[in-house]
Amino acid sequence: MNRIFSFPVYRLLISIFVVSACNSPVLPPAPLLPVPTDRQLAWHEMEQYAFVHFTTNTFTDKEWGFGDESESVFNPTAMDVTQWTKTFKAAGLKGLVLTCKHHDGFCLWPSKYTEHSVKNSPYKNGKGNVVDEVEKACRADGLKFGVYLSPWDRNRADYGSPSYVEYYRNQLKELFSAHSPIFEMWFDGANGGDGFYGGAKEKRKIDGKTYYDWPTTLKLVRGMEPNVIFFSDAGPDIRWCGNESGFVNETNWNTITPDSIYAGKSGIEKLLNTGNENGSSWIPAEVDVSIRPGWFYHAKQDSLVKTPEQLFNIYLNSVGRGANLILNIPPDRRGLVNEIDVASLLGWKKLIDERFKTNLALNKPVKASAFRGNSPVYSADNITDGKKETYWATNDQENTGNLEVDLGEKKLISFVLIQEYIKLGQRVKSFSVEVEKDGKWLEVAKGTTVGYKRILRINPVEAQKLRLVISDSKACPAISNVEVY
């Protein structure tokens, strides 16, 4: 044997190799671009919040006011915005976005740029400011506050001309200088058509792409509220989910290429509903849906309020598919969230609390098929430690893997919740969930994307061991959390 490989030298070389290998940290996976901004991450964590549609429509029984409604119709008889916020808080909603002005142009605050507002209504003898009152109630109840200001205005005589865009921006300045922080700004895509328009009573068409000069408006607002999240069909921070029925697609990419949306191609709703696996920007979907058939309160729809079970399904199809849910709850003519809606909301919250009461996987041991650099930093136990900053990952180029959770004893399993560590981008393309039955693995659920959160409802099954199989991923998977109920 060559002397260099004699026993002591060989041992020494191995030791040097092992020591240096142990001392060099295993690097985390490189981010898979695009990744969310900090403000988008904070938005993802909100998961669900309220939308409040309230204006003259509430009193005229319309969905889209023509813009000729007299201010005198706005007259809630028992207005109590703290009842709204206390109800929403009890229902687990984290914020509220208020229609400060809907398409009819009536302003819920006494804007100095128009007479078509609460200041000419009987509400508090014209001294009311609903925007201010709602914001204060939100702050008191720990809800984030957001605003909706319809770009389309059927009341304004100058709608369609440049002076209206200035008017719209002045109103944004009023709102954003009087209220802060505002977590979300909702830009509605509904635009143009017939209206009162100061008495012209005609149909007006605008070019949605150029008329508003959105880049200038967004810059103005961003300058006043740097962390505001902009919603519009195409973002730039969050996108419309493509329908108003309460679901995002089972395959839901947070990524999309904005150009492909602005192009106004047909099938745009479908694209918004799924996102695009190779999209150039992180623009996650928000699911907007009303607890009632309409966006505004109509007594005739009292019997059509969604049931707790329907709301739970919407929750699974939105939050449970990695989107956020903005649930509209329109106050009635008294200025209160109607008792029927309150009962439904609280029933929904009860279902969520009952069904997700005890996470059977919390702190339970997990075995992985492999983990990154064999480093404990990326080990399998990270997915059950209850910490959002730790995650399991594999080596680069290893785009598949298994995670086996041992619940310690046989339990009845009905839901599995999975989260990716999205700070590193969205990765998983397909996965399945299996349970061990009589020594064999049985598939009980499968899916495509995961993203911020994925919740799978499975036919209740008894098992002690459960396995998450990542069968395809855009890059090595990074899973931060798995919960079992």
User: Which residue of the chain is nearest ligand FUL when measured via CB?
Assistant: 190
Residue 249: Cβ-neighbour burial (10 angstroms; 0-12, 13-18, 19+): buried
Among 184, 233, 288, 332, binds ligand FUL (CB under 6 A): 288
Q: How far is the CB of 100 from ligand FUL (least distance, A)?
A: 12
Which of 103/119 has CB closer to ligand FUL?
Answer: 103
User: Is 444 strand, coil or helix?
Assistant: strand
Which of 198/294 has CB closer to ligand FUL?
Answer: 294
The residue among 279, 290, 194 whose CA lies nearest residue 234 is: 279
Q: Which helix (H) or strand (E) holds 202?
A: strand 202-204
CB 344 within 8 A of CB 311: yes
Taking contact as CB under 6 A, which single stretch among the options 169-177, 182-190, 373-381, 456-464 is the one that binds ligand FUL?
A: 182-190
Contact between 420 and ligand FUL per CB under 6 A: no
Which of 189/376 has CB closer to ligand FUL?
Answer: 189
Size of the site for ligand FUL (CB under 6 A): 6
Q: Is the peptide bond before 28 cis (omega within 30 degrees of 0)?
A: no
Contact between 190 and ligand FUL per CB under 6 A: yes
Compute the distance between CA of residue 282 and CA of residue 291 in angstroms, rounded to an integer. Answer: 28
Which of 234/403 has CB closer to ligand FUL?
Answer: 234
CB 443 within 8 A of CB 363: no
Q: How far is the CB of 326 from ligand FUL (least distance, A)?
A: 8
Which of 189/293 has CB closer to ligand FUL?
Answer: 189
Taking contact as CB under 6 A, which single stretch among the options 185-193, 367-375, 398-406, 459-467 is the one that binds ligand FUL?
A: 185-193
Residue 265: Cβ-neighbour burial (10 angstroms; 0-12, 13-18, 19+): exposed
CB 337 within 8 A of CB 302: no
Compute the distance between CA of residue 337 and CA of residue 414 in angstroms, rounded to an integer. Answer: 33
Compute the distance between CA of residue 288 and CA of residue 325 in angstroms, rounded to an integer. Answer: 6
**Residues contacting residue 443 through CB under 8 Å, at least 6 positions apart:** 432, 433, 434
Compute the distance between CA of residue 394 and CA of residue 373 in angstroms, rounded to an integer. Answer: 8
- Per-position x/- string for 21-60, each x denoting binding to ligand FUL as judged by CB under 6 A, each - no binding: ----------------------------------------
Q: Which helix (H) or strand (E) holds 259?
A: helix 258-262
Taking contact as CB under 6 A, which single stretch among the options 74-82, 187-195, 342-350, 427-435 is the one that binds ligand FUL?
A: 187-195
User: Is 74 strand, coil or helix?
Assistant: coil
- Number of other CB atoms surrounding residue 20 within 10 Å: 9
Contact between 104 and ligand FUL per CB under 6 A: no
Which of 52/337 has CB closer to ligand FUL?
Answer: 52
Taking contact as CB under 6 A, which single stretch among the options 86-94, 129-137, 174-182, 186-194 is the one that binds ligand FUL?
A: 186-194
Q: How far is the CB of 63 from ligand FUL (least distance, A)?
A: 6
Q: How far is the CB of 102 from ligand FUL (least distance, A)?
A: 6
Compute the distance between CA of residue 274 and CA of residue 242 in angstroms, rounded to an integer. Answer: 9
Q: How far is the CB of 57 from ligand FUL (least distance, A)?
A: 9
Contact between 237 and ligand FUL per CB under 6 A: no
Q: String of b and e for 114-128 (b: at least 16 CB within 10 Å)?
A: bebbbbbbebeeeeb
Among 167, 247, 295, 415, binds ligand FUL (CB under 6 A): 295
DSSP state for residue 149 in the 8-state scheme: E
Contact between 188 and ligand FUL per CB under 6 A: yes
Which of 188/225 has CB closer to ligand FUL?
Answer: 188
Which of 60/359 has CB closer to ligand FUL?
Answer: 60
- Per-position x/- string for 56-95, each x denoting binding to ligand FUL as judged by CB under 6 A, each - no binding: -------x--------------------------------
> Which residues of this chain interact with ligand FUL, rule CB under 6 A?
63, 188-190, 288, 295
